Amino acid sequence: MTPPRRRPRLPDRVLAVGAALTSGAALVVALAIAPPDAMQGQAQRLMYVHVPAAWLAYACFALVLVASVAYLLRRDLRWDRRAQAAGELGVGMTALAIVLGSLWGRPVWGTWWVWDPRLVTTVVLLLVYAGYLSVRGLGDDRDTGARRAAAVGILGFVNVPVVHFSVVWWRTLHQPATVLSPDPAPMDARMALALLLAVVAFSLAGWLVLRRRVRALAEHDGALPPQDLPAGPRIVVRAGARP
């Protein structure tokens, strides 16, 4: 007899609905209510996806830092799985921010790419955390890999403030930050609303993705019984363990 399909957990459903609603609201405000920028024009609307992607990436790498420290202190693989999931999402969001930034730069700056300090350090950030994801698999066993990854996950975080402050420390083509800045600049209230909704939408969706990914990693590690199996042979694993 096959185990019944489990319905999605309540927190996941809440996150999914929340993400869907805020995404919808963000889309409406970003595309229909917020004005185009006086200098940049319609292309500026890419800010509503480029900036949340970048911020979510920073948040994910902060999660990697915390979970890596926790793993090294507790040697509990739960923390390593959380760190890995956060690292994966962070790398994806960094790559997305780079692509969206390029699409934004072409019509406004006039080029797809420049090697200015902001863009260079962002690429470095991407490479460092891509390395973080690879290091885990290089160990002889699960725990060695987790330990090495934790070290990289902690040290790699130094790149996050370097990327963020690159526009302050050095001359760049990329403009300084408007919101998260030592010297904030004005933003039209409708634009700020669209940005806020987009950040919330990205965060809720990201949180949902992390929860599901951590569960999937736990199943793979054998720490969780299989959750959504189609008809097939039963696989007996340790019961009762939390992801």
Partner 1 sequence: MTSGAQVGRRKPWRLLTLAVVVLAAVGVLAATGLQGSLVYYKTTSELVADPGLQGERLRLGGLVAPSSVSRGPDGVSFLITDGVHEVRVVNSESPRGVFTEGQGALVEGVYGADGVFRSDLLLVKHGNEYKAPERAGEVPTVSEVSR
Closest CB 141 distance from partner 1, rounded Å: 7
Q: How far is CA 81 from CA 77, 88, 147, 188, in A?
A: 6, 11, 12, 41
Closest CB 64 distance from partner 1, rounded Å: 14
CA nearest neighbour of 157 among 42, 41, 235, 66: 66
Residues 149-168 that bind partner 1 (CB under 8 A): 151-152, 155-156, 158-159, 162, 166
Please give the size of the binding site for partner 1, defined by CB under 8 A: 63
Closest CB 80 distance from partner 1, rounded Å: 11
CA nearest neighbour of 170 among 239, 225, 216, 119: 119
Any idea how long the chain is?
A: 243
Tokens standing for residue 140: 């002889």
Q: Please, which residue, 121 or 204, has the CB nearer to partner 1?
A: 121
Closest CB 155 distance from partner 1, rounded Å: 5
User: What are the residue ranges of helices labelled H in 29-75?
Assistant: 47-74
Q: How far is CA 213 from CA 11, 12, 84, 128, 217, in A?
A: 14, 12, 9, 21, 6
206 sits near partner 1 (criterion: CB under 8 A):
no
Tokens standing for residue 142: 């699960």
Residues 101-130 that bind partner 1 (CB under 8 A): 106-111, 114, 116-117, 120-121, 124, 127-128
Main-chain phi, psi angles of 237, to 5 degrees: -130, 180
Q: For residue 156, what is the DSSP state?
A: G
Residues 166-185 that bind partner 1 (CB under 8 A): 166, 169-173, 175-178, 181, 185
- Measured from the Cβ of residue 235, the count of other Cβ atoms closer than 10 Å reads 11
Q: Please, which residue, 12 or 165, has the CB nearer to partner 1?
A: 165
Cβ atoms 85, 214 nearer than 8 A: yes
Q: Please, which residue, 78 or 213, has the CB nearer to partner 1?
A: 78
Residues 64-93, one symbol each (x = binds partner 1 by CB under 8 A, - = not), give -----------x-x----------------
Residues that bind partner 1 (CB under 8 A): 35-44, 47, 75, 77, 106-111, 114, 116-117, 120-121, 124, 127-128, 131, 135, 138-144, 147-148, 151-152, 155-156, 158-159, 162, 166, 169-173, 175-178, 181, 185-188, 190-191, 222
